[in-house]
Amino acid sequence: MPAEGATLGLIINPVAGMGGSVGLKGTDGEDVLREAWRRGARPAAEDRARGAVLRLSDSATPLRVLTGSGESGEDVARTAGLDVEVVHRSAPGPTTSADTRAAAEIMAARSVDLLLFVGGDGTARDVLSAVGDGVPVLGVPAGVKMHSAVFGTSPRNAGHLAALFLAGSPAARLREAEVMDLDEAAFRGDRLSARLYGYARSPYERHLSQNAKAGSGMSSEASLDLAARQVAAGMRPGRLYILGPGTTTRRVAHALGLSSTLLGVDAVVDGEFVGVDLDEQGILEAMQGRETWIVVGVLGGQGSLFGRGNQQISAEVIRRAGRDRIIVVSSLEKLIALETASLHVDTGDAEVDAMLAGFVRIETGPNRSTLFKVEA
Amino acid sequence: MSIEPKEYQAPVWHEPVIHQMGAAGRRGVLFNRVEKEVEAAVEPAESLIPDGVRRRSRPALPELSEPEVLYHYLRLSQQTLGMMGISLFGTCTMKYNPAVNEAIAWRPEITEVHPLQHEDTLQGTLEIVHRMDLILREVSGMDQFVFQAGGGAEAAYVNCAVTRGYHAARGELEQRDEIITTIQTHPSSAATAAAAGFKVVTLMLDENGYPSLDALKAAVSNRTAGLMVNNPDDMGVYNPEMKEWVRIVHEAGGLAFHDSANFNGIIGKLRPREIGFDACMFMLHKTFGAPKSGVGGPAVGAYGCSAELAPFLPSPLVAFDGSRYHLDYDRPQSIGKIREFWGNVPVVVKAYAWSLAMGAEGMAQVSDLSVLANNYMEKGLLAIRGVTRSHPEATSPRLEMTRYSLQTLKEETGVDIHDVQNRMTDFGIDAPWTSHEPWLIPEPFTPEAGEMWGREALDSWIAVLKKVSDEAYSNPEHVKAAPHRQAVHRLKPGATDDPATRAMTWRAHQRKTAR
């Protein structure tokens, strides 16, 4: 946990969010950016960055900020009166994702206590590709697409959380958070393709017990582990279990003594892998002649069940397994934190989406479950 | 009413832990040595203790004189950070406990009796218990009450044990292993169901602030053992579809339990049995005017049920044959004991005295005043900058309490609910209650006005929150550094969440801080 003399990396993607204001579904790539400018979009990321940085300059913790030149961080940080060191200068012209990656790499090499970036899923992906799980990462929401789970709920809340974390507060803890992104080119053609790119270590604010009456139950980590063990213990001989991507299903694999692929889909029979990192075809082949159960977690900050981040588990796979053979595992905290009170399915097949809609049971802890609404 | 909040000043004693006070050999009372004749007749005291459990070294007890002890606890009582100010502690239903009821409960007819006395010498006490049972039957529509449970959670556990007994008697216990509850029902329902071996299915809230009928329909099955639910719930939201809920659960073969802990907003207005519930639970130490005494008792969770479930109730039951009261142990289907004897009788006596003083009309007035006071507060509180209500668009009624959020205040000023709690105590307001875990609404607080606080107190509470909100917008650092006028400054957060640092005993504290 950081404390005295903390170092913050600050990366602003100055064009983040521009596409959204003029009806584009993202702002990734130079062509799209040009189109956004042509349609009259103006940068808004700096405003959102200011909201977050304001909270940091309020904080009593002495802070050193490593950032990019000008609009990629320096301007906002200096205006806020922070101690600034420019570690990356972008070439003249619009900032590119290469700038984001280059700056993030330097910050990771300098072991910043926290890398705060201002942008959307595209920026999150660039940051992740540069730093992996090397340094903690937190997003200030400013993009068009925000399926990743690394963002604060608002710029100011992100700033508040960053300040807590940098001050070493026990209220700020790290967890693994999904970095997801839609393929914008496909999205603009009204065809979706979303991927789970990986997990960043990201701070979140936990509620400390402030009085006897509130009490604190089992931590969500422990509950989730026990739920995963229960799922593993409930597996029956001869059945095929398809483990979707993510850290939640990885817990199920661990409970079986297996190490699953984090971003891929694996298949288990009788406690052993019969396939790892399978594509749709691989899954369908493994299903031949076997009763099949699908085990998935909830992906991303917007609560995707199928279709985003786990497309390998296709509509056909779901149809053949059947709705009653889907096991969903998630912490209650994650469900509560979702932006909407429902989970989303987008399998590309309207019939399967309709079959999945309604209430689904979610295992939230040992002998604990909840019913959660699923919408197509 | 315009009230200018005045800051209060708590006494600051810097009082040490009692183990750090006194001196070796100091005593409060010196006892004479036991006379030789007595010792010879009884043998030395040590010999009464079996070898296996006898201490090898003397206990490290504090050594103080009697006045030192009295002053110490008097000072501590002044440092409790609460229960001295205006206390609108949501879901706790804080109310005044009349001194006369205390005096009655301290009479020797109560304090000098023992549950193992012969029934013939306990007729008066049994009469009080039986009459309280009759009052609660009238209030709830149930057919039989039992007072054995030492609190609300234990009464919830009684329900789980009765549910088990009921399904076992029908040969369905193995199949019916699920209890349904809601995310805004008190967590003790889920916890006791789990403790009794059930799987717990928790329903989330819909836009209206309560779970939808569709969610319930998706949850019930031939595995459903029962439903355990608060209504109004822990946010004061009343689910108007509850009759249909009970019907659906019954249709699936389950039992329906109304956790009536939040009864202050409906007492005298509706009876759980008439909605269809098979059982309910009242907390005599809150709704019925006996002292809440902090969390931990002594308390009574009065559990009542239908005639159909009564055979499963814990034993003994207090029964009346028209001329004589007796303790009925002859109940073959009983779940047995939940707790020793027949409950905390002094608490039953206080609740009985309160009920007689209130009468049926007085009880009905309790819910009128509680709901009126809460809605009065809502008008005042929602006019304060940075304060919003949970489910702002919901039309479902809020009865005796309302869940608010300071998320807007936090977004705009960086001041959170804990800062506000701390600052409010500087003005003689007991820190408002937030919410049970997990928080569904960010930065929550939940005042419950109840029937006994006058309008002046409610106006003061509102005025203090208004003042703290103004401070948050003009001088947030001052609020974040609060409290400024309390017996101790803000506690460092986190220590009590960490098993490595929290300690329940002095010895554990020494062990954990030595490292």
DSSP notation for A111-154: T-SEEEEEE-HHHHHHHHHHHTTSS-EEEEE-SS---SS-B-SS
> What is the average pLDDT across B27-34?
90
For residues A224 and A200, membership in a common domain is answered with: no
Residues of chain B contacting A364 with CB distance shorter than 8 Å: 202
**Helix A247-255 × helix A220-233 angle, to 10°:** 50
Structural domain ending residue among the three candidates A179, A204, A229: A204
Instruction: Answer whether residue A209 is part of any domain.
Output: no
The residue type at B36: K
Q: Based on the structure, what is the number of domains in chain B?
A: 1
> What is the average pLDDT across A332-341?
84
Tell which residue, A238, A239, A165, A235, has the closest CA to residue A202.
A165
Instruction: Answer whether residue B302 is part of any domain.
Output: yes
pLDDT > 90? residue A254: yes
Give the span between the Cα atoms of B488 and B478, in whole angstroms.
16
Instruction: Answer whether residue B238 is part of any domain.
Output: yes
Structural domain ending residue among the three candidates A146, A178, A204: A204
Identify the residue with better confidence: B79 or A60.
Answer: B79
Tens digit of each residue's pLDDT (9 = 90 or more) over A101-114: 999 999 999 999 99
For residues A228 and A260, membership in a common domain is answered with: yes
Residues of chain A contacting B295 with CB distance shorter than 8 Å: 212-213
| Range of the structural domain that residue B249 is part of | 101-356
For residues A278 and A363, membership in a common domain is answered with: yes
Instruction: Answer whether residue B242 is part of any domain.
Output: yes
Q: What is the domain-level CATH number for residue B115?
A: 3.40.640.10
CB of A280 within 8 A of CB of A316?
Answer: yes
**Helix A97-109 × helix A121-131 angle, to 10°:** 40
Structural element, H or E, at residue B143:
none
Give the span between the Cα atoms of B331 and B333, in whole angstroms.
6
CA distances, A275 to each of A198, A254, A290 (Å)? 21, 16, 14
CB contact under 8 A, B439 and A217: no
> What is the average pLDDT across B224-235?
96
Residues of chain B contacting A371 with CB distance shorter than 8 Å: 201, 203-204, 215, 218-219
CB of B254 within 8 A of CB of B227?
Answer: yes
For residues A176 and A259, membership in a common domain is answered with: no
Instruction: Answer whether residue A210 is part of any domain.
Output: no
Would you say how long chain B is, in residues? Answer: 515
Closest to B414 (Cβ–Cβ): which among A160, A217, A372? A160
Count of H helices and E strands in chain A? 14, 16
Interface of B with A (CB under 8 A): 89, 92, 183, 187, 190, 194, 198-207, 214-215, 218-219, 294-295, 410-412, 414, 418, 421, 431, 433-440, 442, 476, 493-494, 496-498
Instruction: Answer whether residue B398 is part of any domain.
Output: no
Instruction: Answer whether residue A211 is part of any domain.
Output: no
Please list, in sequence order, all residues whose beta carbon lies within 8 angstroms of the beta carbon of residue B40, skipping any fewer than 6 positions away: none
For residues A179 and A293, membership in a common domain is answered with: no
Instruction: Answer whether residue B243 is part of any domain.
Output: yes
For residues A183 and A224, membership in a common domain is answered with: no
Name the DSSP class of A205.
E
Would you say how long chain A is, in residues? Answer: 376
Give the span between the Cα atoms of B336 and B339, in whole angstroms.
9
The pTM score is: 0.90
For residues A237 and A184, membership in a common domain is answered with: no
> What band does A214 get if pLDDT is binned at 50, 70 and 90?
very low
For residues A127 and A66, membership in a common domain is answered with: yes
Give the span between the Cα atoms of B344 and A354, in whole angstroms.
56
Name the DSSP class of B237.
B
Q: Based on the structure, what is the number of domains in chain A?
A: 2
Instruction: Answer whether residue B400 is part of any domain.
Output: no
CB contact under 8 A, B496 and A361: no
CA distances, B157 to each of A66, A308, B145, B182, B314 (Å)? 56, 43, 15, 17, 11
Q: What is the domain-level CATH number for residue A123?
A: 3.40.50
Instruction: Answer whether residue A32 is part of any domain.
Output: yes
pLDDT > 90? residue A269: yes
For residues A43 and A159, membership in a common domain is answered with: yes
This model of the complex carries an ipTM of 0.88
Q: What percent of chain A has pLDDT over 90?
A: 61
Tell which residue, B453, B399, B431, B403, has the closest CA to residue B261.
B399
Q: Which residues pair with B302 in a beta bridge?
A: B282
Instruction: Answer whether residue B338 is part of any domain.
Output: yes
Chain B: residue nearest A367 by CA?
B199
Residues of chain A contacting B403 with CB distance shorter than 8 Å: none
For residues A184 and A222, membership in a common domain is answered with: no
Instruction: Answer whether residue B197 is part of any domain.
Output: yes
> What band does A213 get if pLDDT is binned at 50, 70 and 90?
very low
For residues A156 and A19, membership in a common domain is answered with: yes
Predicted local confidence at residue B461, as pLDDT: 97
Name the DSSP class of B264.
G
Measured in angstroms, the CA of A165 and the nearest CA of chain B are apart by: 13
| Range of the structural domain that residue A366 is part of | 218-375
For residues A178 and A222, membership in a common domain is answered with: no
CB contact under 8 A, A367 and B199: yes
> What is the average pLDDT across B328-348?
94
Give the tokens for residue A118. 């201002």
Tens digit of each residue's pLDDT (9 = 90 or more) over A47-106: 899 989 988 887 777 899 999 999 999 999 999 999 999 999 988 777 788 999 999 999
The residue type at B191: A
Structural domain ending residue among the three candidates A144, A174, A204: A204
Predicted local confidence at residue B299, as pLDDT: 93
